[in-house]
Structure 1
Amino acid sequence: MSVQPATTQAATAPPGPTRSLADQAFEQLQDRLIFLDIAPGEPVNEGELSRELGVGRTPLREALKRLESDHLVMTYARRGTFATPVDITALSEISQVRQVLEPLAAGLAAQMRGGRRRDAVEALIQELESTPPTPADRDHALRWDRRIHREIYTAAGNSHLQATLERYNNLATRIWCVAADRLPVIHQHIEVHVTLLRAIVDGDAEAAAQTMRTHVQEFETHIRQVL
C-alpha cells in the first residue's frame, strides 16, 4: 500500500521540549510499523535503520525496546528483530477494550471542553471540514483517524488512559491497514469525527461518549465484513 509521510501532525503540533534521539527513532519507526511501511514479519536491520534515521545504535535499540513493549516488533535470540505479524484474530479482544476506554476518554475530554487542547481540537474541526478525506485517499483517511484519536486521548487529561489507548489504537490501525483496500467507507468513518470533536468542545460528555462508542463499534463491523 502507498504510505505518505506523517508530516501533518508534526506541522500542527505545538512547540514542546526537544525530543531525544531515541524518541525520534521511536516515533519514525512506530509510524512505519503501524502503517505497514515495514511489512509484518519483515526483519528490522539495525545498521540500515541507524544510517537512514541518523541515530546511533544505542538510541535505536532503546526505541526498539519500546516498540517491543507495544507489540510492534519482536526480538529473537540469534535471529534478530522483526516486525510483528498483524494478528487479525485479536480484533475482538482489541475492540472489547476500546469500546470501554475510548468512550471514557471522549467523555473526559468533553467534561473539560478539550482542556489545554481545546484550541488544537477546534483547529482539527476546521481542518477536517475544509479538507475532508476522499474515498480515493485511504492512506490520508487512516492517518486522520489516528491523529484525531490521539488528540482526544491527550485532551482527556489522563496519562495512563492515554498510553493504554494509544497502544490499542496502534494495533487496531494495523488491522485496518490490512483491510483498507477492501473497505469502501473509510472516508465516511472519518467524517463522524467532526460530530465527535464538536461534542467535546461543547462540553457534551454524553454525546461525545456515545458517538465514540458507535464509532468504535462500526470500525469492528466494517473490518469483519471484509475479512
Structure 2
Amino acid sequence: MTTLDTVNTTSESLSARAYRILLDRLIMLDIEPGEPIMEKQLAEEMGVGRTPLREALKRLESDHLVVTYPRRGTFASQVDVTELAHVSEVRQALEPLAARRAAEAHGGDMREKLLEVLAELKSLNPKQSQRNLLAYDLSVHRMIYGVTQNEHLSETLIRLDNIATRIWAALSDRLPSLHEHIVEHTQLIEQIVTGNPDEAERHAAEHVENFYTLVREAL
C-alpha cells in the first residue's frame, strides 16, 4: 500500500467515525435544530482533523441533517414536520420490500441476532428513557435493512428512518411512549426468521402507517 493509500484509508476511517458520532447527536437532537456546527471544537472533541470532519459534514448535508450557508457556516437543519408525509410515502413503498427480502433470506447472516432481539422485545422495559427507546428502534430497523443485501435499498431506508426518528424526537413531549411502537417489531421479526415474506411485508406496511398516524395525531 502506498503512502497516499494509507492517508486515504485513515482519512476515510476518521471521517466515518465523525459521521457516526454527529449523526447520532443530530438525530437525538443533542445538537439542536438551527444550532451552529462548531468545527474546531468538534474536531478536537472527537480527535479528528478538520478534513475528515468536513467530509462527514458533506455526508450529513446530503442526509438533510445539516445545511451550509456561504460565509455563515454549517448549522443543524431545522426539523420540518411537513416532511413526514413525503418520508412516510416512500417508506410505505420500501419498508415492505425490505421486510420481504429479509424474510426470503430467513434473516440471513443476522438470523441469530434477530432471534436475540426477538427475545429482548418480549421483555423490553417500557420505563426506559425515550432516548434509549429511540436508539433501540433505530438499531432494529438498521438490522432488518442490512439483511436485504441491497445497499441501495438499505441506504435509502436508513436515511429516511433517520429523518423520521428526528421528527419523533422533536415531538416526543406530545407523543406516547415509543415502547408499544417498538414492540410491534415482534411479529415482523418472527415472520422474517420463519421465512414468511407475505406476512413480513404486511407487518412492515402496518408499522410505517402506525408511525405516521401517531405523529400526525400529535400535530
The equivalent position to 1:32 in structure 2, one of 25, 44, 53, is: 25
SS of match in other structure, 1:40: coil
Tell me, yes or no, if the aligned pair for 1:135 and 1:186 is still in contact at 8 Å.
no
Cα distance, 1:87 vs structure 2: 0.8
The equivalent position to 1:122 in structure 2, one of 108, 112, 115, is: 115
The 1-side partners of 2:127 and 2:111 are apart by 29
Tell me, yes or no, if the aligned pair for 1:86 and 1:174 is still in contact at 8 Å.
yes
- Ranges of 4+ aligned residues in structure 1 off by more than 4 Å: none
Find out whether 1:193 has 2:192 as its counterpart.
Answer: no
SS of match in other structure, 2:74: strand
Tell me, yes or no, if the aligned pair for 1:176 and 1:223 is still in contact at 8 Å.
yes
Aligned to 1:8: none
Tell me, yes or no, if the aligned pair for 1:135 and 1:184 is still in contact at 8 Å.
no
Aligned to 2:55: 62
1:71-82 equivalences under 5 Å are 71-82=64-75
Whichever residue aligns with residue 161 of structure 2, its letter is: N
How many correspondences in the alignment? 210
TM-score normalized by structure 1?
0.89
Tell me, yes or no, if the aligned pair for 1:102 and 1:212 is still in contact at 8 Å.
yes
Residue by residue over 1:118-163, the C-alpha shift from the partner in whole angstroms, topping out at 9 and shown as x without a partner, is 1221121123234x14155211221111111100100111110001
Q: Percent of aligned positions with the same letter in both sequences?
A: 51
The 1-side partners of 2:173 and 2:148 are apart by 32
Aligned to 2:4: none
Tell me, yes or no, if the aligned pair for 1:153 and 1:165 is still in contact at 8 Å.
yes
Task: Name structure 2 gaps, 5 residues minimum.
Answer: 1-9
The equivalent position to 2:15 in structure 1, one of 18, 22, 28, is: 22
The equivalent position to 1:102 in structure 2, one of 90, 95, 98, is: 95
The 1-side partners of 2:40 and 2:52 are apart by 12
Residue by residue over 1:175-221, the C-alpha shift from the partner in whole angstroms, topping out at 9 and shown as x without a partner, is 11011122124211111111111110000111111111101001010
The 2-side partners of 1:118 and 1:72 are apart by 32
The 2-side partners of 1:139 and 1:185 are apart by 11
Whichever residue aligns with residue 202 of structure 1, its letter is: T
Aligned to 1:210: 202
Aligned to 1:52: 45
The equivalent position to 1:160 in structure 2, one of 152, 155, 167, is: 152
Tell me, yes or no, if the aligned pair for 1:107 and 1:209 is still in contact at 8 Å.
yes
Find out whether 1:179 has 2:171 as its counterpart.
Answer: yes
Tell me, yes or no, if the aligned pair for 2:118 and 2:190 is still in contact at 8 Å.
yes
Aligned to 2:5: none
Residue by residue over 1:92-141, the C-alpha shift from the partner in whole angstroms, topping out at 9 and shown as x without a partner, is 100000001001101100000011211221121123234x1415521122
The 1-side partners of 2:204 and 2:146 are apart by 15
Whichever residue aligns with residue 64 of structure 1, its letter is: L
Tell me, yes or no, if the aligned pair for 1:108 and 1:156 is still in contact at 8 Å.
yes
Tell me, yes or no, if the aligned pair for 1:103 and 1:213 is still in contact at 8 Å.
yes
Task: Name structure 1 gaps, 5 residues minimum.
Answer: 1-17
